[in-house]
Structure 1
Amino acid sequence: MYTIEQFEKDMFTMYQLKHPTGNSWITVCPERGGIITGYGTNNEERLYLNEATLFDRKQNVRGGIPVLFPISGQLKNKQYHWGNQTYDMPNHGLARIHPWEVLETHSDEEHAFISILFRSSLSTKAVYPFDFKVIFTYTLRGDQLLIHQSYENLSDTPMPIYPGLHPYFKSDKKVVGLDIPTKTYYDYNDEEEKAFTGQIDLTHLKEAVLLENTHTQVKATVDQQSINMEMDEPFHYTVLWTEQDQRFVCVEPWTRKNGELNRQEDLIKVPARDTFDTWVSFQII
Structure 2
Amino acid sequence: MNLQEASPLSSAASPYRISSYEDSFRIYELTDSSTESRVLVCPERGGIVIGCQLGGKELLYLDRATFLDPAANIRGGIPILFPICGQLVGGQYEWEGETYKMRNHGVARTSAWEVIEESAEGGASLTLGLKSNEETRASYPFDFELRFTYRLTEGKLSIEQSYRNLSDRGMPVQTGFHPYFATGENKKLRYSSDATKYLDYNDNAVKPFQGEVDLSALVESVALLDARTASVSFPLGEEGTVRLDYSPEFDKVVLWSVQGKPFVCVEPWTALNEALNHKEGLRILNPQEEWKLDFAISYS
SS at match of 1:31: helix
| 8 Å CA contact 2:270, 2:281 repeated in 1 | no
The CA RMSD measured in Å over matched residues stands at 1.1
- Structure 1 length as normaliser, TM-score? 0.97
Gaps of 5+ in 2: 1-13
SS at match of 1:21: helix
SS at match of 1:138: strand
| 8 Å CA contact 2:61, 2:76 repeated in 1 | yes
- Structure 2 length as normaliser, TM-score? 0.92
User: C-alpha distance in 2, partners of 1:114/1:163?
Assistant: 20
Count of aligned positions: 283
Q: Alignment partner for residue 235 of structure 2, among 221, 236, 248?
A: 221
Q: Alignment partner for residue 53 of structure 2, among 40, 46, 53?
A: 40
Q: CA deviation at 1:44?
A: 2.3
Aligned to 1:136: 148
- 1:51-82 CA-to-partner distances (Å, cap 9, x unmatched) read 11001011000000000000111111010000
Aligned to 1:78: 91
User: C-alpha distance in 2, partners of 1:92/1:113?
Assistant: 26
1:175 aligns with 2:201: no
| 8 Å CA contact 1:133, 1:153 repeated in 2 | yes
Q: Alignment partner for residue 163 of structure 1, among 166, 175, 180?
A: 175
Which residues in structure 2 correspond to 1:77-156 (within 5 Å)? 77-108=90-121, 110-156=122-168
Q: CA deviation at 1:5?
A: 1.3
Q: Alignment partner for residue 213 of structure 2, among 200, 205, 209?
A: 200
Aligned to 2:266: 251
Aligned to 2:76: 63
Aligned to 1:7: 21
Gaps of 5+ in 1: none
| 8 Å CA contact 1:3, 1:112 repeated in 2 | yes
User: C-alpha distance in 1, partners of 2:173/2:18?
Assistant: 32
Q: CA deviation at 1:259?
A: 1.0
- 1:129-163 CA-to-partner distances (Å, cap 9, x unmatched) read 00000111000011111011100100011110110
